[in-house]
Amino acid sequence: MISKEVQSFLLKEALANFMRYVKVWTTSDDNSTTSPSTQNQLDLAKLIAEESKQLGLENIIQDEYGYVYAFLSASKGLEHIPTIGFIAHIDTAPSVKGKDVMPIIHRNYDGTVIKFPKNEEIILSIEDSPQLENYIGMDIITSEGMTLLGADDKAGIAEIMAGCAAWKKFPDLKHGPIVICFTPDEEIGKGTANIDKEKLPRVCYTLDGSEMGELEFECFDAWKAKITFKGINIHPGDAKNLMVNAIHIASRFLADIPESESPEHTENREGFFHLGSLEGTVEQAEANMIIRDFDLKNNERRMNYLKILKDAYELRYPKLEIKLNFEHQYQNMYQYIKKEEKVIDLAKKAIEMANLDLIIHPIRGGTDGSKLSEMGIPTPNIFTGGQMFHSKKEYIPIIALQKAAEVIINLAYLWTN
C-alpha cells in the first residue's frame, strides 16, 4: 500500500502540474496538413521535456512532430524487469475553444448546481453528470466557462509526471525501466501518425480514460466519411427544372440517416452516425461525419446505407453528383489485447490497490492505444478522472489526479514481480 506521505505528495504534484498544463493552449486542427497540426502544441511539449530533465529522466527527446519521449532507469537491482510505458496526449479537442483556459477550484462541493463565473448561460449539475453525486464533499476543478478545461488529456500528463516526481523523491517505490511518451494530435486521430515505435517498450498504458476506477481495453472501430454534393446554381427567378441546390439536397440526404443511430440516442455497445459539419452553397456542399461501432460489420452496413442513399438521390436528381469518401481511422483494440492477460490483470490489480472499485467497459471512442495495439504494442487505457470531455462543462475531482497517479505507482511495482 502507498503511504499517506506518498499519497499527499502525489496529490500536491498532480494538482500543481494540472493547473499549470491546462493554461497552455494546445488545441489541434483537423483541417491542418502539418504535423503537429498546430505549432502551439510544441509549447507544452517543450515544457514537459524541461520538467523531465528536472525529474532526472534520461534520453529525453522532443522531436519536430511534437512527441516527447523520456526514460526512467529501474530501481537498483531491477534492471532486468520488462520495460513498460505510460502515454498521454498533449492536444485538446478542436470542438470547443481551448485558448486562455483558466481553471478554478470549487471547494467542498455540496451537491448543488455549479455556476461558471465567466459564462452565466451554462451550469453544471448532477442532472448533467450523475457522477457528480459521488464527489459531494470533494474539491472539483472546472474552467471559467468560456473554454473546455483540458482534463482530456492534460490530467493524464499531470498524473504521469507526478508519478515520475514520486519515484525521484521516494526511492523505496520500486519499479523497473519505464518509458514515458506524450503525443500530439490524438483528438484528430493522428496521435501515432509519426510515433517512433522503436522508442516504446513492448507494453504500454495510456492515461486517457474518464471515471475513477475505469480500465478499458476495447474501443470503437472508427471511420470518417466525407460526402460532397455538386449541384447547379441558377438565378432563383429562372430556376425551375434547372437549379440543383446542393446544400438543400444535402440537408434532405442527411435527414434520411436514421435518428436512432445518432450519438444522442445510443449507449453501451450501440454504434452510430455522427454528423460533425455541413457547409456549402447552392453549387456545392460538403458534409463530414464519423461512423462508429464495436463491430466492423455494423460499420460496413452503415457505409453501404450511405452508398444506397447516394444512388437513390442521384436517380431522384439526375444532374446531381455525390461523392463519398471513407477513411478508416482505427480498429477495435480488443482483438489485439485479449490474449495479453498479464497486461490487463496487473492494471486491474493496480486500480484495486488504490482502493477504487474496478470499472470495465468498452471505450465509446478511441485512444492512441487503439493504433499502438494494432502496431503490436498492447496498450490498455486507464482513467484520468475527468468528466464531460470536449465540453465547456468539463470537470475533474482533485482526488482523481491523486488516484490515477497512485495507479501508475502501483502498476510499475506490480510489474517488478
Place of cell 450523475: 130
Report in angstroms the alpha-carbon separations of 354 from 4, 152, 253, 335, 411.
12, 21, 50, 28, 10
Q: Which residues pair with 225 in a beta bridge?
A: 289, 326
- If DSSP codes are grouped into helix, strand and coil, which group holds residue 136? coil
Is 218 known to be catalytic?
no
Q: Is 133 a catalytic site residue?
A: no
Using alpha carbons, select from 178, 109, 181, 114 the residue that is nearest to residue 144.
114
If one counts every other C-beta atom within 10 angstroms of the C-beta of residue 213, the result is 21
Contact 399, 343 (CB under 8 A): no
Asked if 200 contacts 368 with a C-beta cutoff of 8 angstroms, the reply is no
Annotated catalytic residue, options 91, 187, 261, 293: 91
SS3 80: coil
Kindly state the cell numbers that stand for 230: 455538386
DSSP 382-395: EE---BSTTSTT-E
Q: Which entry of 51, 159, 186, 214 is annotated as an active-site residue?
A: 186
Residue 187 makes CB contacts below 8 A (sequence gap 6+) with 28, 89, 91, 92, 93, 94, 152
The answer to whether 83 touches 178, Cβ cutoff 8 Å, is: yes
Catalytic positions: 91, 186
